[in-house]
Structure 1
Amino acid sequence: MDALRQEFTPRGTFLDTASHGLLPRRSVTAVRRGAALMAEGTLDQQACLRAVDGVRADYAALVGVTADRVAVGSSVAVHVALVAASLPAGAEVLLAAEEFSSLPTPFDQRGGLRLRQVPLDGLVDAVRPGTDLVAVSAAQSADGRVVDLGALLSAAREHGARTLLDTTQAAGWLPLGADRFDYTVCGGYKWLLTPRGVSFLSVPPGFGGLRPLHAGWVAGAEPWQSCYGPVAELAPDARRFDQSPAYLPYLGAAPSLRLLAEAGPARVGAHARALAARFREGLAGLGCEVPDAGGPIVSFPEPEGAVEALHRAGVRVARRRGALRAAFHLYNDEADVDRAIAALETTAAGR
């Protein structure tokens, strides 16, 4: 892990992966190389599409699903909208009330669906006969709470509901077994350390009723033979759901995913959780008891002057839903935790 941390060059202490992960040096190099080729007019588009397929395969291996079930794109909301469009009128979609908006909004905007939102801690018990789809994030954006995936799957199977899991705040540190879910979606720019503009959709065998509503030339069985007129033959696998990829983000994603494969999600998760636990212990020493959310994200009450104190110390966190949010990844270490706690101590001392 120490060797991999040398790939990152944060300015100060970066504890905000839940907003946007850091790019490793190797990914920065790949993006710059691609941009230079674009500037020269020598970019090989066929090579870029091969790189996209490599990213697809690397992501599939990382989350535990076969590459033929993975579609690529640039937006989680677009992937979710495909799932929303596949549901019959009147279908019940069960959601956690605290979800990041990219998950519930496409269902809401689709119209003709019955959306039922319940608190996250009651989601599993709320699955019932007549629930058509359960859509939830593996880890919540606002506070990092991790859903009990085993219990969720059991409840869904018992009542015949399909599952859609958003892994944006989990893929990269949480071993997932994505093949257990009907659909998964993931934005790569957080824990997968890719540039913004990389996202993934996994689909069930047979596609689960999805229609390739935004299919373009890259969705064709032979993309370079599908450039004009309606695509005559769609790809036989999940590639039929591809959005036309932005080349530079995917060129940068390739080395990022290979780096994470070197580390392994289980190892990354153990490291990041340990740092989160150390941070919670430090907060407890300041009189702030924070429950374990189950992952590397810690949401804690905002003391007066805390943001200013953290900023002066060069520590970056986020403010979400009236609290501060710290997130730990493979590039963080114990010194980062201690620096953040020391900064917060200055606000406690001033009270």
Structure 2
Amino acid sequence: MDGEIAGPHSGPMETFENLVRAEFAPETTHLNTAASALLPARAAAALQDAVRLRVEGRSLDPLYTDVEAARAAYARLAGVPVERVAAGATAALHTSLVAASLPPGAEVLTAEDDFTSVLNPFHTRGDLKVRAVPLERLADSVRPDTALVAVSAVQSADGRIAGLTALAEAARAHGARTYVDFSQAAGWLPMEAGAFDYSVAITYKWLLGPHGAAFLVVPEDLGDLPPVQASWVAAEHPWASCYGPVAELAHSARRFDSSPALFSYAGLRASLELVEEIGTDAVRAHDLNLAERFRAGLADLGRTPLPAPGSPIVSVPGLGHLQPELAAAGIQVSDRAGNLRASFHLYNTADDVDRLLDALSG
């Protein structure tokens, strides 16, 4: 990884490299973080420790502590108080809560061909007006009768980054709420979740966690969300609320929690510790450097990726059919709508980029 991050080799870059070497030893060229990240060694160890508790019949209390530690770490990354963060399992579940908060006939403004989890719950309501526009026109398309704008911060298909500042300003000017999915951004792109009414992120991509964990950020006043999925874990005093109706919901975003997949959160706590140790800025610099190397190599091959400046996701039209062949050669990428999608993260190197370019040139 030498030379992939600006700075003296004896300084922050060395720390970055040492941390990554200690955590990752992939047996393939994994350029597919936008689908699923590699799991750090410390997270794998935490998962094994969690399983051992069940095998040995010991108390699971430490796993509930992991949930709260992971919640707090995500709050720090998102730049919001921990009281605004709810823990769940999927982005679609949290989108469903936001969809349930809207009155019949409300207009939801979305980006064309955004990821299904941030769209479908609004469509399945059946009584909402869902309007889709090109991503680049999203902020300009907010109208006085728009109730909510929902969009992914980074588009899964091609890596385009939404103009979130302009969107927040436009929504505020028209009295619309905002819902941002950070699933393809959290971990490499600095988040300012407090600038939006609601936001969500799953954690098995750029945050390096296991599957089965997701976070929802809500307003300080908890917004208009109905806690329709509330169970005992959503109570102010969970262990005193196991039987009968919950008498007192949590006074924080925990009222929107769903019962946590404890093993997942045990691993996630360790993954988020690594992300915080390395730092989002260092990860972003590394990831974007590799993406630019790939874009430059594509130009040399006469290939033009879809425009997505400043993104570690690079999507190349017309090459998606090569995905099985590349996988057989030990290079993991995705086929998305006929496009070859490569995504670069902290465990990737310049050699990984060159290996993919060599395969494409052949």
Question: Which TM-score bucket, shorter chain as reference?
Answer: over 0.9
Match of 2:289 in 1: 274
Distance 1:304 1:11 in 2: 23
- The answer on 1:227 being equivalent to 2:242 is yes
How far the C-alpha of 1:312 sits from its partner, in A, is 4.6
Q: Deviations over 1:218-241 (max 9, x none)?
A: 111111101100111111100010
Greater alpha carbon shift after TM alignment, 185-194 vs 4-13: 4-13
Match of 2:52 in 1: 36
Q: Report if the CA contact (8 A) 1:71-1:202 is conserved.
A: yes
Structure 2-normalised TM-score? Answer: 0.93
- Alignment partner for residue 80 of structure 2, among 38, 62, 65? 65
How far the C-alpha of 1:313 sits from its partner, in A, is 3.6
Q: Deviations over 1:62-112 (max 9, x none)?
A: 111110000000011110100100111111100011111111110111121
- Alignment partner for residue 14 of structure 1, among 13, 17, 30? 30
Q: Report if the CA contact (8 A) 2:53-2:60 is conserved.
A: no
Q: Report if the CA contact (8 A) 1:297-1:328 is conserved.
A: yes
Distance 2:309 2:117 in 1: 21
Match of 1:316 in 2: 332
Distance 1:304 1:60 in 2: 36
Equivalences, count? 345
**Amino acid across the alignment from 1:311:** A
Greater alpha carbon shift after TM alignment, 195-204 vs 150-159: 150-159
Match of 2:276 in 1: 261
Q: Report if the CA contact (8 A) 2:54-2:60 is conserved.
A: no
Q: In structure 2, do the counterparts of structure 1 residues 308 and 19 end up closer, same or farther at CA, with 3 Å as the change threshold? A: closer
Give the alignment of 1:144-293 within 5 angstroms: 144-290=159-305, 291-293=307-309
Distance 1:215 1:80 in 2: 15
Distance 2:339 2:319 in 1: 9
SS at match of 1:207: coil
Overall identity of the aligned pairs, in %: 52
- The answer on 1:299 being equivalent to 2:315 is yes
- The answer on 1:54 being equivalent to 2:78 is no
Q: In structure 2, do the counterparts of structure 1 residues 111 and 278 end up closer, same or farther at CA, with 3 Å as the change threshold? A: same
How far the C-alpha of 1:158 sits from its partner, in A, is 1.4
SS at match of 2:346: coil
**Amino acid across the alignment from 1:78:** L
SS at match of 2:223: helix
Distance 1:41 1:202 in 2: 34
Gaps of 5+ in 1: 347-351
Give the alignment of 1:97-112 within 5 angstroms: 97-112=112-127
Q: Report if the CA contact (8 A) 2:320-2:334 is conserved.
A: no
How far the C-alpha of 1:4 sits from its partner, in A, is 2.2
Distance 2:197 2:47 in 1: 33
